[in-house]
Amino acid sequence: MERSIISEMILQNAMILYGQPKWTFGKNTCNTYELFVHQFRLPDGTLAPAWPILEVVEQDDALTMLFSMQLMWEAARKTMEISRIDNSNLTLSLNLLPRFAEKEGFVEQVESCLKTVGMEGRRLQFEVSELQKLSPEGCANLNTVHDELGVGLVMGNFGTEKTNMPLIYQVHFDMLELDRSYAAKIPDSEAVCKAAIAIQHMADTLDMKLCAKGIENQDQFEFFEEIGTFKGQGPLIGNPMPMDELEAYIKQYALEKGHK
């Protein structure tokens, strides 16, 4: 697809957002939701899967900036709209492209977005995959939005064969997201269970929370709840869903403002 067409679709907000809930263990509630682009509406009105278009976006600096800013602003506006309707304290979680974080003006863009939509910094989380490389400028920008604006930082895909330990002490992460490959082998593999417990202890030592991804059954859910994992995500909790379904989920499980 031509770059100009992709650019126009982004500018016209032809992105179809989906959301997936993240459950808080021990509280029977769910106030954090990962939002992402599931589809694009093409110029002829048909819908196309997002991933082939996003592959093009990630190879182009200008498109990366345009897409990242548009997604952040639209997701933040939608989150605040739902929060006001349901009187809930929602936290928005967004996957962050490193190229966006590395650009001059990133901190100002985040600050402007938060102020314009009326969102507290602590209600926004950026997820950065440990598989992606961040420049020193990117690390510094992320630390600034964390320390000065209160934005949460999550290291995603943690625990793969390419575990990026140096990034943990370069960036002020609040949470590790355990790669879904762990949950897939729990509770059948004693070795994987022990590894998950060890990662939970490591997160505790580093004053970080842990989120387990890929939870598909009750045994996995109970395992992570028992070892003290903070959040969980996966098909058992809720598959990625269109925004109207997500709003219904929020009405059922989100904690209202003023409640703890």
**Residues 114, 120, 124, 125: what is their CA dihedral angle, to the nearest 10 degrees?**
120
Task: Tell me: cis bond preceding 240? Omega within 30 of 0 counts.
Answer: no
pLDDT recorded at residue 133: 84
CA distance 63 to 65: 5
- Is residue 238 one of the residues assigned to a domain? yes
- Is residue 57 one of the residues assigned to a domain? yes
**What is the domain extent for residue 58?**
3-253
- Is residue 201 one of the residues assigned to a domain? yes
- Is residue 258 one of the residues assigned to a domain? no
- Is residue 260 one of the residues assigned to a domain? no
Burial of residue 202 (number of CB atoms within 10 Å: 0-12, 13-18, 19+): middle
Q: Taking all residues of the chain, what is their mean pLDDT, rounded to a whole number? A: 92
CATH number for position 112: 3.20.20.450
- Is residue 214 one of the residues assigned to a domain? yes
pTM equals 0.92
Q: Among 81-85, 166-170, 231-235, which range has the highest average pLDDT?
A: 231-235
Q: How many domains does the chain have?
A: 1
CA distance 257 to 233: 23
- Is residue 207 one of the residues assigned to a domain? yes
Overall average pLDDT of the 91-119 stretch = 95
- Is residue 224 one of the residues assigned to a domain? yes
